[in-house]
Amino acid sequence: MNVFKALPPAQQRNLAFLFAAGLLFWSSLTALLPTLSLYVKDAGATDFQVGVVMGGFAVGLVLFRPWLGKLADRRDRKIVLYIGLGAVAIAPFGYLTTQSIPLLFLIRAFHGLSIAAFTTGFSALVADLSPPEARGEVIGYMTLVNPIGVAIGPALGGFLQESMGYSPLFLVSAGLGILGILVISQLQTPGLIQPATDATQPPPKLGLGQLLLSPRFRIPAIVLALIGITFGTSTIFVPLFIKETGVPLNPGLFYTASALASFTARIVVGRASDRFGRGRFITGSLVLYTIAPLLLSLAHSIPAFLLAGFLEGAAGGILFPMMISLTADRSHAFERGRTFGLVLAGFDLGMALAGPVFGSLALQLGYRGLFEVTSLLTFASLLIFVGLSSKNFTYSLKFALGSGQDLYALPK
């Protein structure tokens, strides 16, 4: 934590308020994680309809993320944070007022706006406030809001639903989002960031399509798209799978185990990646992401489910801070909103596909078959990263194994 003490007081305050807002955001969002698919199921939905409704969240992500990234660059990161917290506060009231499957899909898509906005603004602002030489460490610590929120939210949500029903759960989720809005109001952000004007040849402002096709960001986006399918499948179908197996496990505890592993991983890898490079840690995370769903497909007991959750959490705890750091390393300050929006949109697209596609596959393959397929997809993401993450196969292999530099990283 010494890196924070070295920062100016105003910068420390901004990071503290940002951390608090992130904690409230993720607690609000994930409080619904273990029970929302059950709520949709109780409304009379089939497995396919559950997948479609839950996948609506990612549809909102895919539709809004690029626009929100542009807004963060052209206006202010703070505006985008307000949009995210506003959506996470409003959406639970929508769930509370209807059990219509089409309306639930629309509300779920609107709910997706929350994470599209908040994570884009949060990632860009953390990168803005991080010293380049300790960027991985600061990002690693700041992204602890995710596992802490995931540890609190699902356990709280599962308890509220079991003891009091769905209505108190939705009201508490909305209340946490409103508190987050109050915290964000205390942020003093740097505002609009323009390209440097004193350089001999200032970097060009690339369009969204050019950024996506750029070798700097294309492979990270593809890898995150495949991981998004795995994550989306786990989020939607693990509670239903646990219920089907008859294993006496609160689904919220699966996500709590995941959050504990994610928390531990983020503390360690951020600082280490500043010293040893991002590549080896991304590779390790993709190995874990391959093992976790395979273990889920074989699970018949509480320890097996918890171990799968732990491995999935460790994988995410390594991968996401590393991908955020990698994107920041490869981005100019004035384009960070768009680059984060585009790279993370890959993950969004994967989540969008997970609901309807795997919801229909569940009828044919069963839940165990779904997790076997996602294991194969994550293995494919590992091969793509190892072979294509740099300018050619040799450089990619060296970078992925930690013996070579990131050739796309900008000078610090």
User: DSSP for 228-242?
Assistant: HHHHHHHHHHHHHHH
Please state the domain extents for the chain.
9-187+207-400
Report the candidate in 199, 290, 300 with the shortest Cα–Cα distance to residue 246: 300
User: What is the pLDDT, as a whole number, of residue 174?
Assistant: 92
What is the percentage of the chain residues whose pLDDT exceeds 90? 27
Biggest CA–CA distance in the chain, Å, is: 66
- pLDDT average, residue stretch 125-139: 85
pLDDT confidence of 198, banded at 50, 70, 90? Answer: very low
User: What homologous superfamily is domain 9-187+207-400 in, according to CATH?
Assistant: MFS general substrate transporter like domains (1.20.1250.20)
> What is the enclosing helix (H) or strand (E) of 209?
helix 208-213
pLDDT tens, position by position, 232-257: 888 778 888 888 888 888 877 887 78
- How many angstroms separate the CA atoms of 255 and 316, rounded? 12
The verdict on pTM exceeding 0.75 is yes
- How many angstroms separate the CA atoms of 46 and 391, rounded? 46
Cα-based angle 25, 15, 284 (whole degrees, multiple of 5) = 75
pLDDT confidence of 308, banded at 50, 70, 90? Answer: very high
CB atoms inside a 10 Å sphere around CB 245: 16
Arithmetic mean of pLDDT over the chain: 84
pLDDT tens, position by position, 248-302: 888 778 877 888 898 888 888 888 888 888 999 999 999 999 999 999 989 889 9
> What is the enclosing helix (H) or strand (E) of 32?
none
Q: Picking from 22-26, 171-175, 328-332, which range would have the lowest pLDDT averaged per residue?
A: 328-332
Report the candidate in 261, 231, 236, 58 with the shortest Cα–Cα distance to residue 151: 261
User: What is the pLDDT, as a whole number, of residue 210?
Assistant: 58
- How many angstroms separate the CA atoms of 382 and 386, rounded? 6
pLDDT tens, position by position, 203-229: 555 555 556 667 788 899 999 999 998
- How many angstroms separate the CA atoms of 29 and 91, rounded? 10
pLDDT confidence of 199, banded at 50, 70, 90? Answer: very low
- How many angstroms separate the CA atoms of 132 and 60, rounded? 32
